[in-house]
Structure 1
Amino acid sequence: MIQAFGLTSQSHKGLPPAVDDVSLEARAGHVTALLGATGAGKTTTLRLMLELQQGRGLTYFRGRPLHRIAHPAREVGVLLGEMPGHPARTVRGHLRMLSAAVGVPARRADEVLEVVGLVSLRDERLGTLSRGMDRRLGLACALLSDPHTLVLDDPADGLSTRESHWLHGMLRAHATQGGTVLFTTSEPKEAARAADHVITLEQGRLVADQVAAEFTRTRLRPRVAVRTPHAVRLAALLAKEARTAQRSVEVVREGGNRLSVYGSTCADVGETAFRHGILVHQLADEMGDMGPGAGPFPGETEEAARDAREDVTEPESGELPGHRAVGLAGTAPRGGRAQDKPASQDGSHRPGDRVVPADRRARGDQAVHGSPNTDSGPTEGRGDTAPSPTTVSKAPAPLPPLPPPISARSAPSPLHPLRYELRRATGIGTGFLTAAAVLVTSALTAVLLARVGHTPQARLLAAWPRELPLPPAALGAGLLGALAFGDEFRHPALAADRGSVPRRLGLLTAKLVVAALTALMLAFLAVGCDAEVLYLVYGRELAEVPADWLVLSASWFGLVVGCAWAGVLAAGVFRSTTAGLAAVVAVPVVVVPLVQKALEGASLRAAAGLPARLREVFLLQWPFGGERYLVGAVRVIAQPVGGALTLSLTALLCAYLLTTLRSRVR
């Protein structure tokens, strides 16, 4: 259940807020539509509810605000706008990555792919998917964690009529099992067909809150759809008879051989056509648009509008508006939702089953048991209208099956962010291509430095010319670290979980660990490749290991890991890969000169004798020659680049923690 109170967005430049004091409720077991024209504030309302946008108001999901829920993605499945994700990632890889993020088994990805019909496209790249397949994948992401609540922003936008019916069937199946569904739309007919409850927004304000049956009566005009080759003659006869009988009948010719008759019935129109010998190809009751000749709704083609009109029919007599009989085979109780059982085949009823009228059972409909949906919307009429003098409504198709429930949700584990980060980093080829380019560039640079000469052995193995602020390996590590957060903001796959990138320290720790491991591997491979190439080109002399290799190795690995961490933190703070890489380059270019200038003067002292002084202060004895390792660490930090990098990392970490605390304090 969703309860929103007083949602108000921030106003800009003196303009009225996009959403002004909107309060709404979406109940469990119901499909709720948020209806409004483009610019009415539907998307802003959802973003305020999900705490993705600054504003005022409160929203409770089953009695708790989103920031009080430990794992929001397990409670709320979200689809906002385009399906976010790196275009080079595969469909299955994307879902497996999100499975690790929300803490569900990796096999869950295959389960939801089968339900949404994307099994054959699981190895396709996200950038190659069509609009309909993109919507299916978005719904799969929303259903991945078996959430109780679905919040979808215009999920049927751009879909064909058949795909829209499938999508609405999935939403209906979720609500039938006790879940809460809230989706936005700009088409009144779609809201009437798919929803049980319709909330209308206009210019950021709530103007109507109605059950679907009442919405249909007040917003959608009932009419009789007629197809005849003698449309002009029949229209004149209907208008003449209406004037004679002093009845309010409006006849609108919609083009070709189609008429829309408002204020009459199929029986009256059919009798008029029969008396005058007029051939009729179609005669059906429909729910029309807001008025005659309104045409298709925004974003709807004429063909789609015609198909939608043919698919929507009046419920037959004996059926209660807003109730429909559907079958849901093979479903099981889901997290937080009631269990639904199929009707017994012998016609008997088990305790708790809802009795279905005999006339509805005779049509072959299956009943949904459990609590009746008293506020459901009108019959969707998913069957096609046959081109005959009278329209016979088909039995509604069974609802699509949902993914099997998650039997037990495991407790939060540090491995979940680590698994997510590993799958994120290895799911696309960007990291591998970057590492290959770094190794090739480093080897070529080392060969050129050896040819020029006058380069110390340590710098030669690291391929670090004095003219460059950082060696290729350090720049590559910084770029890979910046991509770790930059891709999250560019392709926000975790948008459902508290913003474009969730501010969780567990995720930050995982990114730092993976970035450090990647940097260490890159640093080791770079030195190894440089030494091997130098040996092949110039012989053993230039490939010799320096005598103080231990301290140099510590300095080298510390530099590369520090650049990777600086890229991670800077991209997380500035929300950009470019800004993360710029922060890495700024360390030797800007920070080092400032540190050197600040340390100039007579107050500068050497760090010699630090282990002895530490023993004197802390009365500690360093076992196994620990003084040597401590001195090496101090020398690394005492170097200009090492000191500047340490200072930068400290500042970036503080900035990240500050932004994290600000996002959590609402």
Structure 2
Amino acid sequence: MIQAIGLTSETRKQLPPAVDDVSFEARAGRVTALLGAAGAGKTTALRLMLELQRGRGITYFRGRPLHRIAHPSREVGVLLGDVPGHPARTVRGHLRMLCAAAGVPARRADEVLEVVGLVSLRDERLGTLSRGMDRRLGLACALLGDPHTLVLDEPADGLSSREGRWLHGMLRAHAAQGGTVLLTTADPKEAARTADQVVTLEQGRLAADQDAADFSRTRLRPRVAVRTPHASRLAALLAKEARTTRRSVEVVREGGNRLSVYGSTCAAVGETAYRHGILVHQLADEIGDMGSAAAAGLSTEPRADEAPLTPVREAIAVREHGRAATSQVPVPMRHKGSATADDLPAPREASPAPDGKPTTHQAATGEPRQDDEVTEGYGPSSQAAPHPNAPQSATQPADSQATAPQPAASRPADSTTDRLPDLPPPISVRPAPSPLRPLRYELRRAAGVGTGFLTAGAVLVVSALTAVLLARVGHTPHHRLLVAWPRELPLPPAALGAGLLGAIAFGEEFRHPALAADRGTVPRRLGLLAAKLLVASATALVLAVLTVGCDIEVLYLVYGRELAEVPADWLSLSASWIGLLVGCAWAGVLAAGLFRSTTAGLAAVVAVPVLLVPLVQKVMEGPSVRTAAGFPLRLREVLLSQWPFGGERYLAAAARLIAQPVGGALTLSLAALLAAYLLTTARSRVR
């Protein structure tokens, strides 16, 4: 159950807030639609509910605000816009990465892929998916944690009729098992057709909160749909009788042999046709544009004697509270193509309301879902799918004519024609919080795309070529030659590559925020930062070893054994080399996480030797600076005992490394970046 109380966005420049004091409830077991035209504040309301935007008000998800829920992804499944994933990542890899972040088994990715129908596309890249497949993937991401609540922003926007039917069937199935579904839409007919409750927003304010039946009766325009080969004659007769009897009747010619009669009834239209001997093929009451086929989610193909729909349909005025609103509620054109058994959702037994009868999951396992919430008086309802109306003639009795379709809230729950898609099985084992979850996520994120491997390969090639050129030119110290570090460059290629890989680790999170419910918002968690620093350290260590090994091998192949010899003080040089690469990688991670950009992370790495090293050298060369001579001896005196395995020697070596200009500048930069990151993290958590 969702309880939104007093949602109000921050005021804009000389403009009223996009959302102003909006309060409503979305109950469990029901599909709730947040309806409004473009700019009405639907998306802003969702962002306020999900705490993605600053403002006033509070939202409770089953009695708790989102920031008080330990595992939000297991309570609320969110779909806002397109799936924010890396275009080069595969569908299955993206879901497995999110499984690691949510702490659910990796097999969950295959389960949701099977449910949403993406098994055959699991190895496809995210950048190649169509709009419909992207929506299916977004729903799969929302269902990964087996959440009780689904919050979806325009889930059917841009989808075909068949994909929209499948999506609404999935949402209905989730509500039928006791879950809560909240979606936004700009189409009032879609809201009345798919939702149990409709909350209407107008200019950021709450305009109405109604059941679907009340909404259809009060805010949609009823009509009589007529199909006859004598459409022009019948339209003229109906208009003439309306003028004679002084009744407000509007007849709209939709093209071909179709008519829409507003302000009349099936009985009146049928009697007129019968008196004048006009053959009628179809005569049905409809609400708005929801005919019996549309309400069932079916699209009909025009007959041979039926011309396609013309733009005259767009001129139909949809009146709200007695006023025309043609510009705000466009009437969509009907899709061509006949509905077959393949177009319908997957077979599924109807799940009745929680009134003592078992739900689909209870019938299969004998146990209720772990996160089901039964709310008395608000059970789930099913989505009936009546058969399309057969052609009828005017000679049939008026009582036998088709009636208007029932809204979702008023359809019987025990209808045998209801077939709901299957949902992924509930997660039976929910592991306790583990510090390895961010680490598993980071490993799958880094290995899921080829950016890191390509960068490392480019670094090895550039470093080997630079070493060969330096050896040919000469005048380069041997220890610098082995790491391809000329004096003219501020950093060697390997250090720049390590900093770039570290910057990419956080830069990709902001460019393709897989962990965020909306683009540009990445959670600032210390566990995620620690995992990125650890993976960046391991990557820098591997890169340091591979770079030296490749340079030595290339120098041996080109110039012989003389230039490939290992220096005598290789241990201290190796420590300095590894420390330099790890420090650059950490600087890239922290700077990219602080400034939310890969470019800023790499710029922070380059700024260390360009700006900070000269500053540190100038400070250390001053006349008032004292040296740290005799540090190892004083350290041994302070510790009063010798460390095992000569630990004080390594500590003294680290101190000497930091005392160097590059080491000191890098240490100063890391300390400043870490302090700034922790400060911004603490400020973001203050509400």
TM normalised by structure 2 equals 0.85
The match for 1:335 among 358, 370, 395 is 370
Q: Distance in 1 between matches of 2:150 and 2:11?
A: 28
Q: Tell me the residue number matched to 1:526.
A: 547
User: What's the CA shift for 1:36?
Assistant: 0.6
For structure 1, which segment, 462-471 or 525-534, has the greater mean C-alpha deviation from structure 2 after superposition?
A: 462-471
User: What's the CA shift for 1:461?
Assistant: 0.8
Indicate conservation of the 8 Å contact 2:239/2:250, yes or no: yes
| Partner SS for 1:38 | coil
Per-residue CA distance 1:209-250 (angstroms, 9 max, x = gap): 111111111111111111223222111222333444554433
Letter in 2 for 1:8: T
Q: Distance in 2 between matches of 1:257 and 1:238?
A: 15
Indicate conservation of the 8 Å contact 1:252/1:293, yes or no: no
Indicate conservation of the 8 Å contact 2:6/2:21, yes or no: yes
Q: Tell me the residue number matched to 1:146.
A: 146
Q: Distance in 2 between matches of 1:187 and 1:580?
A: 44
User: What's the CA shift for 1:251?
Assistant: 1.9
Letter in 1 for 2:553: E
Indicate conservation of the 8 Å contact 1:328/1:400, yes or no: no
Q: Distance in 1 between matches of 2:381 and 2:245?
A: 37
| Partner SS for 2:34 | strand
Q: Tell me the residue number matched to 1:51.
A: 51
Q: Tell me the residue number matched to 1:652.
A: 673
Q: Tell me the residue number matched to 1:230.
A: 230
Letter in 2 for 1:656: Y
| Partner SS for 2:264 | coil
Q: How does 1:311-322 map to 2 (within 5 A)?
A: none
Per-residue CA distance 1:58-111 (angstroms, 9 max, x = gap): 111111111111221111100001111000000000000000000000000000
| Residue 275, structure 1, aligned to residue 271, structure 2 | no
Q: Distance in 2 between matches of 1:464 and 1:282?
A: 84
Letter in 2 for 1:458: H
Indicate conservation of the 8 Å contact 1:224/1:262, yes or no: yes
Per-residue CA distance 1:529-556 (angstroms, 9 max, x = gap): 0000000000111111111111110110
Q: Tell me the residue number matched to 2:316.
A: 292
| Partner SS for 1:224 | strand
For structure 1, which segment, 606-615 or 292-301, has the greater mean C-alpha deviation from structure 2 after superposition?
A: 292-301
| Partner SS for 2:590 | helix
User: What's the CA shift for 1:607?
Assistant: 2.6
| Residue 619, structure 1, aligned to residue 650, structure 2 | no
Q: How does 1:98-497 map to 2 (within 5 A)?
A: 98-288=98-288, 292-293=316-317, 301-304=332-335, 328=360, 333-337=368-372, 373=378, 381=385, 383-389=387-393, 391=402, 396-496=417-517
Per-residue CA distance 1:364-414 (angstroms, 9 max, x = gap): xxxxxx96646969x665754445555598964411110000012110101
Letter in 2 for 1:138: G
Q: How does 1:441-590 map to 2 (within 5 A)?
A: 441-496=462-517, 500-590=521-611
Q: Tell me the residue number matched to 2:631.
A: 610
| Residue 634, structure 1, aligned to residue 658, structure 2 | no
Per-residue CA distance 1:251-289 (angstroms, 9 max, x = gap): 222333321112322233223223322232322221116
Decide whether aligned partners of structure 1 residues 386 and 154 sit closer, same or farther in structure 2, where only a CA change above 3 A counts.
Answer: farther
| Residue 596, structure 1, aligned to residue 617, structure 2 | yes
User: What's the CA shift for 1:522?
Assistant: 0.8
| Partner SS for 1:58 | strand
Q: Distance in 2 between matches of 1:621 and 1:300?
A: 84
Letter in 2 for 1:268: A
Letter in 2 for 1:71: H
Indicate conservation of the 8 Å contact 2:227/2:281, yes or no: yes
Indicate conservation of the 8 Å contact 1:29/1:180, yes or no: yes
Decide whether aligned partners of structure 1 residues 639 and 384 sit closer, same or farther in structure 2, where only a CA change above 3 A counts.
Answer: farther
Q: Tell me the residue number matched to 2:351.
A: none
User: What's the CA shift for 1:161?
Assistant: 1.2
Q: Distance in 2 between matches of 1:327 and 1:255?
A: 46
User: What's the CA shift for 1:609?
Assistant: 1.7
For structure 1, which segment, 592-601 or 124-133, has the greater mean C-alpha deviation from structure 2 after superposition?
A: 592-601
Q: Distance in 2 between matches of 1:634 and 1:219?
A: 76
Letter in 2 for 1:166: W
For structure 1, which segment, 625-634 or 184-193, has the greater mean C-alpha deviation from structure 2 after superposition?
A: 625-634
| Partner SS for 1:302 | coil
User: What's the CA shift for 1:154?
Assistant: 0.3
Indicate conservation of the 8 Å contact 1:446/1:463, yes or no: yes
Letter in 2 for 1:69: I
List runs of 5+ in structure 2 lacking aligned partners.
290-313, 319-325, 344-354, 394-400, 406-414
| Partner SS for 2:625 | coil
| Partner SS for 2:334 | helix
Indicate conservation of the 8 Å contact 1:170/1:400, yes or no: yes
Decide whether aligned partners of structure 1 residues 13 and 596 sit closer, same or farther in structure 2, where only a CA change above 3 A counts.
Answer: farther
For structure 1, which segment, 576-585 or 243-252, has the greater mean C-alpha deviation from structure 2 after superposition?
A: 243-252
Q: Distance in 2 between matches of 1:500 and 1:564?
A: 23
Q: Distance in 1 between matches of 2:75 and 2:380?
A: 24
Indicate conservation of the 8 Å contact 1:76/1:150, yes or no: yes
Q: Distance in 1 between matches of 2:8 and 2:98?
A: 31
Indicate conservation of the 8 Å contact 1:441/1:472, yes or no: yes
User: What's the CA shift for 1:291?
Assistant: 8.9
For structure 1, which segment, 134-143 or 609-618, has the greater mean C-alpha deviation from structure 2 after superposition?
A: 609-618
Indicate conservation of the 8 Å contact 1:187/1:297, yes or no: no
Q: Tell me the residue number matched to 1:343.
A: none
Decide whether aligned partners of structure 1 residues 134 and 652 sit closer, same or farther in structure 2, where only a CA change above 3 A counts.
Answer: same
| Partner SS for 1:661 | helix
Decide whether aligned partners of structure 1 residues 515 and 68 sit closer, same or farther in structure 2, where only a CA change above 3 A counts.
Answer: same
For structure 1, which segment, 452-461 or 591-600, has the greater mean C-alpha deviation from structure 2 after superposition?
A: 591-600
Indicate conservation of the 8 Å contact 2:636/2:648, yes or no: no
Indicate conservation of the 8 Å contact 1:221/1:291, yes or no: no
TM normalised by structure 1 equals 0.88
Indicate conservation of the 8 Å contact 2:199/2:206, yes or no: yes
Decide whether aligned partners of structure 1 residues 336 and 305 sit closer, same or farther in structure 2, where only a CA change above 3 A counts.
Answer: farther
Decide whether aligned partners of structure 1 residues 525 and 73 sit closer, same or farther in structure 2, where only a CA change above 3 A counts.
Answer: same
Q: Distance in 1 between matches of 2:215 and 2:447?
A: 50
Per-residue CA distance 1:610-635 (angstroms, 9 max, x = gap): 12212333433233323321221112
Q: Distance in 1 between matches of 2:216 and 2:632?
A: 82
For structure 1, which segment, 220-229 or 114-123, has the greater mean C-alpha deviation from structure 2 after superposition?
A: 220-229
How many residues get paired? 621
List runs of 5+ in structure 1 lacking aligned partners.
312-322, 340-369
Q: Distance in 2 between matches of 1:371 and 1:270?
A: 44
Q: Distance in 1 between matches of 2:432 and 2:517?
A: 20
Q: Distance in 1 between matches of 2:370 and 2:101?
A: 19
User: What's the CA shift for 1:307?
Assistant: 9.9
Decide whether aligned partners of structure 1 residues 497 and 650 sit closer, same or farther in structure 2, where only a CA change above 3 A counts.
Answer: farther
Letter in 1 for 2:447: T
Decide whether aligned partners of structure 1 residues 261 and 9 sit closer, same or farther in structure 2, where only a CA change above 3 A counts.
Answer: same
Q: Distance in 2 between matches of 1:297 and 1:385?
A: 30
Q: Tell me the residue number matched to 2:410.
A: none
Indicate conservation of the 8 Å contact 1:493/1:500, yes or no: no
User: What's the CA shift for 1:578?
Assistant: 0.9
